[in-house]
Amino acid sequence: MNRFIISAALLLFLPQQMFAQQRPISTLVTKEVQLSGISIPDLDVSRPLESKKSVMLAVIASLIVPGMGELYAGSFETGKYYLIAESGLWITYSGFRMHSNWLLQDAQTFASQHADANFINKDDQYSVNIGNFNTTSEYNDAKSRNREYDLIYQPTRPEYGWNWDTDANRLRFKDMRIHSGEVKNNAKFVIGAIVVNHLLSAFSAGKKTAAYNQSLSSMDNVELHSYTLNNGSQVYGWEISITTHF
């Protein structure tokens, strides 16, 4: 084991004699101070004990909320960008979904006015069929020719009927519905970006925590000691020793 000591002496008074002693600061209290009930504590320059942090906990924290793992590791300067990105992505996702719903509602309102269509308790396929066929009869004839009898809208269920006033309005509705679907798909891409942001933050948090633990391990080999430089009751300086073990 190699050992080196770096000593720094700070002179408070000029030495009165050639020889000095090293004594704890608390032993240098004069009689007058002792009688007055005042005490001087020893100088403590030792490094506070710090425990290592869990890499797994940091990773899980960032998987749940990006940036929280970095905060746990003491590196929120990096983690704050993942948290900001998370907020922005969710706002973008909400904006796409709201816009998509507005476009779809506008399309359905348009179809109700020009095709007498009823969208209550209907699935997305119903909207697709309305955009592809002018009337319910035209749709049922096409399904019969393809022998897709299970997809035919029965006459006993008039709530599934529609009849476009013009073919141009049908095509306009179709375009409106498709545009709504495209905006909704954009929201799905944002969800993918959110997942990637969680994974990147978790990876970063794991690295930051591991680096923090590594720094603690290197500091375990460093010792700090302090001494007073005195001649009798007269203090003229103090000394700090830093010892490193390899």
**Within a domain: residue 236?**
yes
pLDDT tens per residue across all 246 residues of the chain: 444 443 333 333 334 443 344 454 445 444 444 434 444 444 454 555 568 899 999 999 999 999 999 999 999 999 999 999 999 999 999 999 999 999 999 999 999 999 999 999 999 999 999 999 999 999 999 999 999 999 999 888 899 999 999 999 999 999 999 999 999 999 999 999 999 999 999 999 999 999 999 988 765 555 555 555 666 556 556 565 656 555
**Within a domain: residue 106?**
no
**Within a domain: residue 159?**
no
Q: What is the pLDDT of residue 21?
A: 46
**Alpha-carbon separation of residue 78 from 2, 26, 59, 162 (angstroms):** 37, 45, 14, 57
Give the chain's largest Cα–Cα span: 118
Domain span including residue 76: 3-42+51-95+195-245
User: In total, how many domains does the chain have?
Assistant: 1
Q: What is the pLDDT of residue 221?
A: 55
Q: What is the pLDDT of residue 216?
A: 82
**Within a domain: residue 158?**
no
**Within a domain: residue 211?**
yes
**Within a domain: residue 190?**
no
Q: What is the pLDDT of residue 157?
A: 87
**Within a domain: residue 55?**
yes
**Within a domain: residue 105?**
no
Its pTM stands at 0.63
Say if CB 40 and CB 33 are below 8 A apart: yes
Q: What is the pLDDT of residue 114?
A: 97
